[in-house]
Amino acid sequence: MSTVTTISRGDELAALWRERLESALKAVVGPVAGFALLVLVWQAVAMRIPEIPTPGVTWHAAAELFSDPFYDNGPNDKGIGWNLLASLQRVGAGFGLAALVGIPVGFAIGRYAAVRAMFSPIVSLLRPVSPLAWLPLGLLLFKAADPAAIWAIFICSIWPMIINTAVGVSRVPQDYLNVARVLNLSEWKVTTKVLLPAVLPYMLTGVRLSIGTAWLVIVAAEMLTGGTGIGFWLWDEWNNMKVEHIVIAIFVIGVVGLLLETLLVALARHFTYTEE
């Protein structure tokens, strides 16, 4: 009997490991195959268009570029690492300011009908405006490129936070608010103890959408304003006709954006409540 039990457990363990191995292979094989296809198409295009660098040329250029990403030869000649950090700093500043303003405004719009009637038309009017359309106004107000870029990030980041937070507040069950009213809770306790836990998944969705938009906008803003940043570095490499560096910048921008998105998706899942 014990031999049969041992064999059964051994079979279950083998089946479990086989299932895990198959899952791991599925998770790896798909992305590897897709990336391999991208490289093959890239190679084919580069063979027909000599101006496009091949994957091999780009790889060697990237190895050289990242061998010293933080060199500093003056304001207009800095390594890609410094430029990337400058862009992330601007995104962090504009994004943080948008969160400080947008989330409370979203709570107010979702919570109070009078505030919603006042601000909803304004949000609907300004939200479709391209963030870069605000950049000249930022240059006029702040007289400098750096705060103007942060201003553009602020404007593009604030709308998803306001809208998603307001939607989350408006969808809180009325029974929760009725109980809070019966318990005679203060508005602060209603916000922190009742609304915030229920609205948090919506709010984090708005944050995730905002960071993606902010990272898109900063590249274009830096191309226009100059100075330092990954967008300025990309445009400067175009002026120097270093096409392989432009391709590298595209991959770097994509990887950083993917990492930011993945981080916030994981955060949103952690705070999303599901019924078991």
Tell whether the model's pLDDT for residue 271 goes beyond 70.
no
Location of structure tokens 């009997």: 1
Which whole number is the average pLDDT over 1-16? 59
Location of structure tokens 């000249």: 136
pLDDT recorded at residue 275: 42
More confident residue, 10 or 251: 251
pLDDT tens, position by position, 208-223: 888 888 888 888 888 8
Alpha helix stretches (DSSP H) within the chain: 2-48, 55-65, 80-111, 113-126, 135-142, 145-170, 174-182, 187-189, 196-225, 230-239, 243-270
Given a contact cutoff of 8 angstroms between Cβ atoms, the answer to whether 184 and 164 are in contact is no
Same domain, 28 and 158: no
Q: How many domains does the chain have?
A: 2
Same domain, 36 and 170: no
Comparing 20-29, 76-85, 238-247, the range with the smallest average pLDDT is 20-29
In-domain check, residue 58:
no
pLDDT tens, position by position, 71-91: 888 777 788 889 999 999 999
Same domain, 216 and 175: yes
DSSP state string for 184-234: T--HHHIIIIIIHHHHHHHHHHHHHHHHHHHHHHHHHHHHHH-SSSHHHHH
d(CA 239, CA 225): 15
Tokens of 275: 């019924």
pLDDT tens, position by position, 129-174: 888 888 888 888 888 888 988 999 999 899 999 999 998 888 887 7
d(CA 50, CA 38): 18
In-domain check, residue 275:
no
**pLDDT, mean over the chain:** 83
Same domain, 71 and 148: yes
In-domain check, residue 250:
yes
In-domain check, residue 201:
yes
More confident residue, 105 or 176: 105
In-domain check, residue 132:
yes
More confident residue, 12 or 72: 72
Tell whether the model's pLDDT for residue 192 goes beyond 80.
no
Given a contact cutoff of 8 angstroms between Cβ atoms, the answer to whether 168 and 198 are in contact is yes
Given a contact cutoff of 8 angstroms between Cβ atoms, the answer to whether 144 and 225 are in contact is no
pLDDT recorded at residue 34: 80
CATH code, domain carrying 196:
1.10.3720.10
d(CA 164, CA 110): 10
Same domain, 91 and 208: yes
Same domain, 29 and 82: no
Distances (CA, A) of 208 to 59, 123, 222: 31, 19, 22
Distance of CA 10 to the CA centre of its chain: 45
Which whole number is the average pLDDT over 195-213? 85
Tell whether the model's pLDDT for residue 112 goes beyond 50.
yes
Phi, psi of 185 (to 5 degrees): -75, 145
Given a contact cutoff of 8 angstroms between Cβ atoms, the answer to whether 95 and 157 are in contact is yes
pLDDT tens, position by position, 38-70: 889 988 888 888 888 898 889 998 999 888 888
Same domain, 40 and 160: no
Residue 146 buriedness (CB in 10 A; 0-12 / 13-18 / 19+): middle
Same domain, 37 and 91: no
pLDDT recorded at residue 94: 92
pLDDT recorded at residue 32: 78
Distances (CA, A) of 3 to 6, 126, 257: 5, 73, 54
Domain that holds residue 265: 65-270
Same domain, 69 and 160: yes
